[in-house]
A and B are shown apart, each in its own frame.
Chain A
Amino acid sequence: MFENPEIALDDLPDTDGLDWERLHPLYTRALRVASAIILTIIALGISALNFVPNLPLAPVVALYALLAIAAAVAMIWPGVSVRRRGYVLREKDILFRRGVIWQSVTAIPFNRIQHVETSSTPIERKFGLAALQLFTAGGSGGDLRIDGLGEDAAESLRVFILDKAGAAIEHD
């Protein structure tokens, strides 16, 4: 019943030279818009301090300076980090890579996926984007989330992966 052919480690399919699928080109802009909205709200909050009488100038200026730094990071960072993210669909698994300073590649075999979910925030919908979430069994961080896919891509990935996962379960 149980066969166990010997496999040379070097013969296994590796991940070098794979064509990584990029995320949707509008995703960077969507991230910037989302940050811009939050930054604007914070800026409005700080400007409300103008109505406080007898407030020394220095802390307010410091707050604005901090906000400016945060804004600069929030505008530049998506351009750097989104370029690093990508995924590859293979016959039996999906790989997802991310990270600029801490880089990681996550692999999920289709026969371990329990269910698949797509979701989108209002901003993402405005840009025609969606997120795909893959759930495996187990507690801590038992799921993989791929943000910034095109709506169509997310939907077709969902159908494709569900199909693969279902086929794998039937074989068990």
Chain B
Amino acid sequence: MNTTDQGTWRRTSPFAILFFVGRILRLIAKNAWQSLAPLFALLIAYQGDIASKLTLGGIVFAVAITAGSLLSYWFFRFQISDDSILIRQGVIKKKQLDIKFDRIQGINTRQNPIYRLLGLVTISFDTAGSAGSEGNLPAVTRGFANSLRDRIGKPRTVELADTADSKAGSGALVHLNWGDMIRIGLADRRALIVFAFIGPLMERIDENIDRYISNFIRIAAANGIELDAASGISIGLTIFVAVIFLFVVLSIAAAFLRYHNFQLFLDGRTLRSHAGLITAHEHSMELGKIQTLRLQQGILQRLLGRYRFTARQATSGKDRSQKVFIVPVVTAELADTLRKKFLAPEGGRLSQDPASDRFVSISPYYMRSKILFIGLLPSLSATIALSIALGAVALLFLLWLPVVAAASYLNWKRAGFMHDDQEIVRRSGLLGYRTVSLLFRKVQRVTVSQSRYQRRKGLASLRMYMASGSVRVPYIDHGRAKQLRDYILYKVESSQQAWH
């Protein structure tokens, strides 16, 4: 199991059954109704009281899942050939997957606690151009994963021998500590989303809370403590704050689970990250495959002075899934040090720090169409349309206009770009900041477009299509846009290097 010997069909370790149990459970969770319908039908047909129904249901469920995972394991075989990994799987519907080495963009591993005790990992492949196929090798040894990495990685590091000297510096580039976990947790927007979902539920719970509070007040009164409406509100507020606090604690816990002891390494031209409290995640990515680098800062992260740094690879195939390499929390200075390493020897001289004074702002006319079409038009038409029904209250819709105007102004203030002879950095944002950078020579196609109004003002928008999505620089001088376009074409057409 430790080798990547060729030419024989093999099974993975029996512990892979764990992986298949997980996969079946996920499948059931995804289409709960369809998969549980037969079970319900059985239970309804079965005569008996609720307790025995539940027991029977539980037994049938457990047996079905065990049988399913055993069969999945039994029919799962893989083979390493000269240039690809073949995977055969499927109990009823047979599937054969052929993953070519040169299409593999990265090898990621996951390790749950049981696998960790046994020294096993689950490998998943990032491939370019595969249509949603599941390239997983469950429960193989760590040695096997490393030897597979070597096999796939080696030919490339030989090609790029001139940069191999950086292999010496194998210490971690980034090492996140517990303070960073708290920062990730605090900045987690999912807590807010969960809250939005809970909101409607809260309304229903509200009645109970009301009753609880009035009970509380009654008890307090009985004990000789005067509680008025103000303290009622303060109790409500306390509960509200407690709920938010709970979510923050939860998202900090999630950050610890996912990113505990996060370490980032650079081996030659391969970027590797290792993290996780219970299940250890390991991701890898070839530096040459980076399409865009993003530095993002939400409003909460702004208060913390931290950013989220991501590297995007080419989107793959028909499923259009993003392949993203994440460094969850960095300072702007650290991000700039990292990007220098990532883009060397060509680029990386520019700063992606949004506070950099080298950003050139775009035309203020950028605000006009936003204010006009998102602000003025909707608010006026809403006011007029509803003035009969609502009377003077309809005038409140006009308040929408200053909101949009302020947002457009913020958006314009944050928009900007800078470039040197190799790369371009674009800045955008509304409350937070986002900067995206790309190497000119990796552009797939360019569009210069003008609306009627832009034509009148001699402005244009430049859109650069990358293999990972497009980046737009809006409302810049038309001549400048064309010049940049011509320069990008020159860089692409004279480039002899692979873009991927």
Q: Using CB atoms and an 8 Å cutoff, list the residues of chain A in contact with chain B.
A: 1-2, 4, 6-7, 9, 12-16, 92-93, 99, 101-112, 136-142, 144, 171-172
Contact = CB atoms under 8 A, between A and B. Distances in A.
B465 to A, nearest CB: 6
Bin chain B's interface residue count.
35 or more
Contacts of A142: 444, 465, 467
Contacts of A13: 486, 490
Contacts of A140: 320, 465, 469-470
Nearest to B291: A138
B461 to A, nearest CB: 9
A108 B445 contact: yes
B449 A137 contact: no
A15 B493 contact: no
Q: Is the interface of B mostly helix, strand, loop or mixed?
A: mixed
Contacts of B446: 106-107
Given A112-B499, A139-B320, A171-B496, A15 B486 contact: yes
B195 interface: no
Interface string B470-496: 100000000000110111011011011
9 contacts: A12-B483, A12-B486, A14-B483, A92-B493, A103-B449, A105-B448, A112-B444, A140-B469, A142-B444
A102 B453 CA distance: 9
B486 A138 contact: no
B38 interface: no
Q: Which of B445, B452, B470, B483 has the most CB of A within 10 A?
A: B445
B468 A139 contact: yes
A104 B493 contact: no
Interface of A: prevailing SS: loop
Interface string B388-399: 000000000000
A2 B455 CA distance: 39
Contacts of A172: 496-498
Given A12-B483, A141-B470, A171-B496, A101 B444 contact: no
B314 interface: yes
Contact of B449 (A7, A14, A99): A99
A56 B178 CA distance: 73
Interface in B426-454: 443-452
Top-10 shortest CB links A-B: A104-B449, A139-B315, A138-B467, A137-B467, A136-B444, A92-B493, A12-B486, A108-B445, A106-B447, A139-B320
B498 A137 contact: no
A139 B465 CA distance: 9
Interface in B326-352: 345-346
Nearest to B455: A103
A107 B488 CA distance: 10
Interface string B303-328: 00000000000110000100000000
A83 B449 CA distance: 17
A104 B487 CA distance: 18
A1 B482 CA distance: 30
A142 B467 CA distance: 8
Given A137-B467, A138-B315, A107 B497 contact: no
A107 B444 contact: no
B162 interface: yes
A138 B247 CA distance: 37
Given A103-B450, A103-B455, A137-B314, A109 B493 contact: yes
A104 B448 CA distance: 6
B445 A104 contact: no
A15 B485 CA distance: 10
A102 B449 CA distance: 7
A104 B444 CA distance: 17
B500 interface: yes
Given A136-B467, A138-B468, 17 more contacts: A13-B490, A104-B447, A104-B450, A107-B446, A108-B445, A109-B445, A109-B489, A111-B495, A137-B444, A138-B467, A139-B320, A139-B468, A140-B465, A140-B469, A140-B470, A172-B496, A172-B497
B493 A111 contact: yes
B421 interface: yes
Contacts of B498: 172
B487 A9 contact: yes
Contacts of B465: 136, 138, 140-142
Contacts of A139: 315, 320, 468-469
A167 to B, nearest CB: 12
A166 to B, nearest CB: 15
Contacts of B483: 9, 12, 14
A92 B450 contact: no
Given A102-B451, A138-B444, A14 B492 contact: no
Given A2-B345, A12-B490, A107 B445 contact: yes
A144 B447 CA distance: 11
Contacts of A103: 449-450, 455
Contact of B482 (A15, A109, A112, A141): A15
A172 B466 CA distance: 19
A14 B482 contact: yes
A105 B345 CA distance: 32
Contacts of A136: 444-445, 465, 467
B394 to A, nearest CB: 27
B500 A137 contact: yes
A101 B451 contact: yes
A107 B492 CA distance: 11
A91 to B, nearest CB: 8
Interface string B3-32: 000000000000000000000000000000
